[in-house]
Structure 1
Amino acid sequence: MEFWSPIRISVQVTLVASVAAFIMALIFAWWMARFRFKGKAVMETLLMLPLVLPPTVVGFGLLILMGKQSWIGKTVEWLFHQSIVFTWWAAVIAACVVAFPLMYQTLKTGFQSIDKELEDSARVMGANEWQVFRYITFPIGWRFTLSAYILGFARGIGEFGATLMFAGAIPGKTETIPTAIFMAAESGNMTLATYWVLCIVALSFALLSLTQRFQ
């Protein structure tokens, strides 16, 4: 049970986080690839910032933004009688934040590679933006769309720094595979840490192999 608990938590956390991050990345990537507006470069920089910041900085930012002293944290605590920090949902939020930029960049690059004349032709024929996306953009770009999700999932399941700071490493609750590896190594249980390392390496290898096949 001690071995499987972090794996189960990691998969559950990453499934929820990757779906949330993917929906947001899809919306922002399509919007940023299609429209020009003042301040676009600044906004895109902010969207990509978690990709280059140290994970501990991301975790610290989440603590400031959603901790007990913030208005978000106070609102959540008032509604649910519990703080976000050091909960399962904190792990989901941390994984979502770090997975989002990779998904966003992959999707945006993919959308920009699609021939705009095909989409414009559909608009001329009376299609609205949803129909253009559903019948033109997505069928053409399903490969990069799926690749974006898989890459984001792989990034989310490997998240460590932000998760440790924002969600902690509570056994059976917020202890994911990366945090479990750290705690096992710190306590001198190198055998258990090695098993978890092999597990996450195998999982990451499988996910990246899928991405290569789709590309």
Structure 2
Amino acid sequence: IIRRNSDKNTSAKTALSLAQIGEFSFAIFALAGAEKLISEEMASFLILVSVISMILTPFIIGNIYKLSSYFEKEFYESDVITPIERKDHIIVAGFAMLGKIVAASLQSKGANFIIISDNLKHVLHARKLGYMAYFGHLNKLPVLESLRVKEAQAIIITMSSEQNRRLISEAVLGYNKEANVIVKIDSVDERKSMRDLPELKFVDASFEVADLLVQRAIKK
């Protein structure tokens, strides 16, 4: 019934949640064996299966999203990402105006990159453009693991919010101290506020724009 009225991913999660055998089965199997309805060997085997099922239940429930993703990928649920099969890739965090420009530039250079955004509209738009984009928060451990941040060549943070930039920077470096994190900042004050994260590489928007303006002005 659930399969007919729900998507495959929901059906898989429901099936996994209901797969375990309850302790009441012990009494049923023992009684069936005592009444010779089934052989003693079969009763022992079924009881063993029940025990294994109960042992595995916490693992199944704790990893239900990853397990269900083998049946169908779930793009529309935040932070539910099937582990990717990539390495030496670039992760672009954010897909607003700057993120779009970065993605277009990376694509023109044939770079191996993916996009992560906590804005579903941005994710859907990125996918429509042909990019591999994921819906989630890069400051969460399951997302960091699924996107294989430790194997990434670089993480480019393009968010417009200073708070989000810091939150993601702290999470990525906390997960992988050696990560190559490049973050766009808007002011010298923001750079000073991130002095406790010396591993970061900054691109100061004001300085970069000023430099381009000067170059254009004196260009012959």
Shared fold (TM-score, shorter chain, > 0.5): no
TM-score range, shorter chain: under 0.3
Larger radius of gyration: 2
TM-score (norm 1): 0.23
In terms of fraction of residues, the more helix-rich structure is 1
**Between structures 1 and 2, the one with greater strand share:** 2
